[in-house]
Homo-oligomer: A and B are copies of this chain.
Amino acid sequence: MATKAASTKKPASAKAMAKAKPAASAPAAKAHPMSPLAPKTHPKLPPLAGVRLATGEAGVRYKGRTDVLLVTLSEGTQAAGVFTKSKTSSAPVDWCRKQLKGGSGRALIVNSGNANAFTGKIGDESVRDVADATAATLGCRSSEVFMASTGVIGEPLPHKKITTILGQLAEEGAADGWQAAAEAIMTTDTFPKLATAKASIDGRTVTINGIAKGSGMIAPDMATMLAFVFTDADLPASVLQQILAEGADKSFNAITVDSDTSTSDTLLLFATGKGAKHASITKSTDKKLVEFRKALDSVLLDLALQVVRDGEGATKLIQIDVTGARDNVAAKRIALSIANSPLVKTAIAGADANWGRVVMAVGKAGEEADRDKLKISFGNQVVAEKGLRAESYDEAKATKTVQGKEVLISVDVGIAKGSARVWTCDFTEGYIRINGSYRS
Residues of A whose CB lies within 8 Å of any CB of B are: 84-89, 115, 117-123, 152-156, 216-217, 219, 258-263, 340-343, 346-347, 349-350, 352, 354-357, 359-369, 371-372, 374, 384, 386-389, 427-429, 431-433, 435-440
Contact = CB atoms under 8 A, between A and B. Distances in A.
Nearest to A123: B388
Given A87-B371, A260-B341, 14 more contacts: A85-B364, A87-B363, A87-B367, A88-B362, A117-B356, A118-B384, A118-B389, A153-B356, A260-B343, A342-B431, A349-B432, A349-B436, A350-B435, A427-B432
B436 A86 contact: no
Interface of A is mostly: loop
24 contacts: A87-B362, A87-B364, A87-B365, A87-B366, A88-B360, A89-B363, A117-B360, A119-B389, A120-B372, A153-B359, A217-B343, A217-B360, A258-B342, A258-B343, A260-B361, A261-B360, A263-B360, A342-B342, A342-B435, A346-B431, A346-B432, A349-B432, A427-B432, A428-B436
Given A122-B388, A356-B152, A384-B118, A438 B363 contact: no
Contacts of A362: 87-88
A183 B274 CA distance: 73
Contacts of A122: 388
A330 to B, nearest CB: 11
Contacts of A258: 342-343
Given A88-B374, A260-B341, A371-B88, A347 B432 contact: no
A368 B87 CA distance: 7
A440 B352 contact: yes
A440 B350 contact: yes
Given A343-B216, A350-B436, A369-B87, A356 B259 contact: no
Residue of A340, A356, A389, A427 most packed against chain B (CB within 10 A): A356
Contacts of A366: 85, 87
Contacts of A347: 435-436, 438-439
Given A343-B258, A368-B87, A154 B433 contact: no
B261 A86 contact: no
A261 B364 CA distance: 6
Contacts of A115: 356
Contacts of A340: 259
Nearest to A368: B87
A359 B88 contact: yes
Nearest to A353: B439
Nearest to A261: B364
A285 to B, nearest CB: 31
Contact of A342 (B154, B260, B386): B260
A354 B429 contact: no
Contact of A388 (B120, B152, B387): B120
Contacts of A263: 359-360, 363
Contact of A261 (B120, B123, B152, B363): B363
Given A360-B261, A367-B87, A427-B432, A388 B153 contact: no
A308 to B, nearest CB: 15
A355 to B, nearest CB: 6
A94 to B, nearest CB: 9
Contacts of A85: 364, 366
Residue of A262, A341, A342, A427 most packed against chain B (CB within 10 A): A342
A318 to B, nearest CB: 14
A436 B117 CA distance: 35
Nearest to A115: B356
Contacts of A121: 387
Contacts of A350: 435-437, 440
A111 B154 CA distance: 49
B359 A154 contact: yes
A436 B430 CA distance: 13
Contact of A352 (B88, B117, B438): B438
Nearest to A357: B153
